[in-house]
Amino acid sequence: MASHRDPKRLGQFLVYLLGRHPEEFGLVPDADGYVRTKSILAVCAEEPGFAHVRQRDIDALPLVLTPCPVEIDGSRARAVDRSRLAVPMDMAQVPKILWLPIRRRAHARVTEHGSQASAGTPLILAAEQAMAERIGRRQDRNGLLAAVHTAQALATGSSFRHAGGALYITDSISPQAIILPPPPEPEPAHRPAVSKSTPTPRQPAAGSIILDRMPDPAAPHAKKDKKRRKDPDWKRERKHRKRSGEG
């Protein structure tokens, strides 16, 4: 077995990811220490040497590692040893600006209503723009990055918890505290597919020259016509007399 596919190596990586410093990868475990395997796979895809990891590789760990350092529970996983995990703590003082990744299609909704946590999963913000971009790419490759003015957010009812490193979490942010980039341009309308068996003829652009309709100067008849156009009338008449024996 190739060393990079060694399940023991994957287990060691997940111990660090889930039981030591998930914040380094933009992850925040839930209250029971679990992280969705979908998020774990997204991190693996970003890390050198682990891009090959699939759901089946994580599911197989309890079968090949004894004892297994990771507990798998359906679509989520956690480290067995979670003693070193940072516990999210309420923060009265936070950075003036935090970065919030949002989906492209959510721009109008966030502008009007702000942003709220869903299904018990808090909003994850980052003090570092690069980390927020990394988190956002996992949600939507064409997503956007919003700046959150934390003083305004706190004044309108938000509370922030430090989740380790550059990460902070909250349950809601009012629209007054969110500064969004301009609305994204609408995606182009879907164009009907063109059959390869019936290619569409190209239409010339305005002012263009259609080269394949010009005479080929190398063709014999083109040279003859060109020469005839150059000879004056008197010269053509003289040649005619010579050919007929008159001159």
- Specify the CATH number for the domain of residue 150: 3.20.170.30
pLDDT of residue 212: 38
**Domain range for 39:** 3-79
Structure tokens at 36: 């969705």
In a domain, 188, yes or no: no
Residue at a domain's end among 179, 196, 216? 179
* Mean pLDDT in residue range 154-158: 95
Beta bridge partners of 121: 118
Q: Report yes or no: 92 and 34 within 8 Å, Cβ to Cβ.
A: no
Q: How far apart are CA 45 and CA 41, in angstroms?
A: 6
* 137 in the same domain as 117: yes
Residues 157 and 120 in one domain: yes
Number of domains the chain contains: 2
Amino acid at 114: G
Q: Is residue 195 part of a domain?
A: no
Backbone angles phi, psi at 223, to 5 degrees: -65, -40
Residue 218 lies in a domain: no
Please tell me whether residues 154 and 123 are part of one structural domain: yes
- Residue 122 within any structural domain of the chain: yes
The answer to whether residues 43 and 25 touch, using CB atoms and an 8 Å cutoff, is yes
Amino acid at 137: R
Beta bridge partners of 100: 146
Write out pLDDT tens, residues 166-221.
Answer: 999 999 999 999 999 887 776 666 666 655 555 555 554 444 333 333 444 455 55
pLDDT in tens, 134-151: 999 999 999 999 999 999
The answer on 168 and 99 residing in a single domain is yes
- CA neighbor of 131 nearest in space, from 87, 170, 98: 98
Question: How high is the pLDDT of residue 1?
Answer: 46
- Residue 64, CA distances (Å) to 40, 69, 204 in order: 19, 11, 65
Residue type, 193: A
Residues 70 and 99 placed together within one structural domain of the fold: no
